[in-house]
Amino acid sequence: MGFSNNLPKLLIYFAVAAAFIVGIEYGTTTAGTTSMLYTMLFFVAISMGPIAIMAAVDICESDWAKPYKREMLSTHHMILFIAMLFAGFVALGKLSVYGWSAPVEGLERKWLNESFFTWRNLALLLVSWLVASIYARKSLNDEKGKVMWAIFYVFSYVITQTMVAFDWVMSLDFPWLSTLFGAYFFVEAFYSGLALAAIFTFFLSDYYAEKYPAKTFKKAQMDMMTMMFGFSIFWAYQFFSQLIVIWYGNIPEEVAFFTHRLDIYGYWLFAVILILFVTPFWVLMSRKVKANARLVMIMGFWIWGGILLERFFMIHHHVQLNPMAVVLQFLIAAFIFYTVVQSRGASESMNSAA
């Protein structure tokens, strides 16, 4: 279908990297533990979030983010890599980390059963990759139908991130339930995409300076960083909405999610609020900071660090992580992410289409 001239080459990288990650998982963890889940939870956010930002811009029929478009849309093939990792995760029998996976005599689970869990998540990742690939090509080529495909992607993004929240994380605490958890995840993935834009601002500053007039890119940078400032507030709103409903309901089944983690990690939990809200809110109020490529890059990595810490607090209560496995798997996934972005897969299709 011509999504990218680089896809066959990337598939080789994906297969080799996935094999290494699965091998590390097999060799360093037991049946009841996993480190892959931690890696997948981070990269599924920073792979899908940047595309959602560009989809939102296209739906609004705006072009203020045009300088960032090629790089932000280049992450779409990473979704396919996450799907491959998820397939490996299931093949290794790692669904055993979920308490609901143990069979109970006389009880048939229609939603939380291994087969349905596997196929719905794999299908959603593949559909999101397919839709993102088509949307990226149409958007970069400014083809007819790009707004329609942007809308399709937003729907697939919201549904996939919601299932990541409900299936990958919330079901670890089964039978704990939160209807707000899905929204919290897709907002945070969007936030992580803005952090990626901040990182691009610094590392691709020479490229942007050559391709765009200084005034054009500086305006795009200010707008993007203003949005990141705004999403630090929106993230806090989502966090507070999650907390306040649990607090005023005071239902033991809901409160347990926080109380168990407070018992284990204590006040370290508040570091997430400091990193993802207090610091970005305070720092990015300054126009001088938003205009400084180095400082916004630091804030981008800072926000990614906060998301990593939060993911740790979410799953470590139930999933034992092997530090060596986490580091190795993370480095391999980071290399693949870098390779995908460097390939500019979506933009290559623009040349082939011409």
- DSSP class of 4: -
Average pLDDT of the chain, as a whole number: 89
Percent of the chain with pLDDT over 70: 93
Instruction: State how far the Cα of 289 lies from the Cα of 281, in Å rounded to an integer.
Output: 12
Sorted by sequence, the CB contacts under 8 Å of residue 91 that are 6+ apart come out as 22
pLDDT for 226 equals 96
Query: In the chain, which ranges are continuous DSSP H helix?
Result: 7-28, 36-59, 66-73, 76-91, 114-140, 146-163, 181-203, 205-211, 214-249, 252-265, 270-273, 279-283, 287-290, 293-315, 323-343, 345-353
Q: Which structure tokens are listed for 339?
A: 């390779």
Please answer whether residues 329 and 29 qualify as being in contact, where contact means their C-beta atoms are separated by less than 8 angstroms: no
Instruction: State how far the Cα of 56 lies from the Cα of 52, in Å rounded to an integer.
Output: 6
pTM of the model: 0.91
> Dihedral sign, CA of 85, 90, 93, 98?
positive
Residue pLDDT, tens place only, 329-339 = 999 999 999 99
Domains of the chain: 7-353 (1.20.1630.10)
Phi and psi angles of residue 104, each rounded to the nearest 5 degrees, phi first: -120, 125
Please answer whether residues 348 and 5 qualify as being in contact, where contact means their C-beta atoms are separated by less than 8 angstroms: yes
Stated length of the chain: 354
Residues 241-259 as b or e (16 or more Cβ within 10 Å = b): ebeeebeeeeeeebeebee
Q: Work out the pLDDT band at 79, boundaries 50, 70, 90.
A: very high
Residue 59 has pLDDT above 60, yes or no: yes
pLDDT for 241 equals 86
pLDDT for 175 equals 81
With left for phi above 0 and alpha for psi between -120 and 50, is residue 266 left, alpha or beta?
left
Please answer whether residues 283 and 229 qualify as being in contact, where contact means their C-beta atoms are separated by less than 8 angstroms: no
Q: Work out the pLDDT band at 347, boundaries 50, 70, 90.
A: very low
Residue 5 has pLDDT above 70, yes or no: no
Higher pLDDT, 202 or 176: 202
Residue pLDDT, tens place only, 182-235 = 999 999 999 999 999 999 999 988 888 888 888 889 999 999 999 999 999 999
Q: How many Cα atoms are found within 13 Å in the side-chain-facing hemisphere of 294?
A: 0
Phi and psi angles of residue 60, each rounded to the nearest 5 degrees, phi first: -80, 0
- Give me the residues paired with residue 107 across strands: 104
Residue 107 has pLDDT above 90, yes or no: no
Residue pLDDT, tens place only, 239-283 = 888 878 777 777 766 777 888 888 888 889 899 999 999 999 999
Instruction: State how far the Cα of 327 lies from the Cα of 197, in Å rounded to an integer.
Output: 24
Residue 82 has pLDDT above 80, yes or no: yes
Q: Which structure tokens are listed for 49?
A: 């979030």
Average pLDDT over residues 62-71: 92
The candidate with the shortest Cα–Cα distance to 90, out of 39, 38, 48, 34, is 34
Q: Work out the pLDDT band at 106, boundaries 50, 70, 90.
A: low
Average pLDDT over residues 45-52: 97
Q: Work out the pLDDT band at 354, boundaries 50, 70, 90.
A: very low
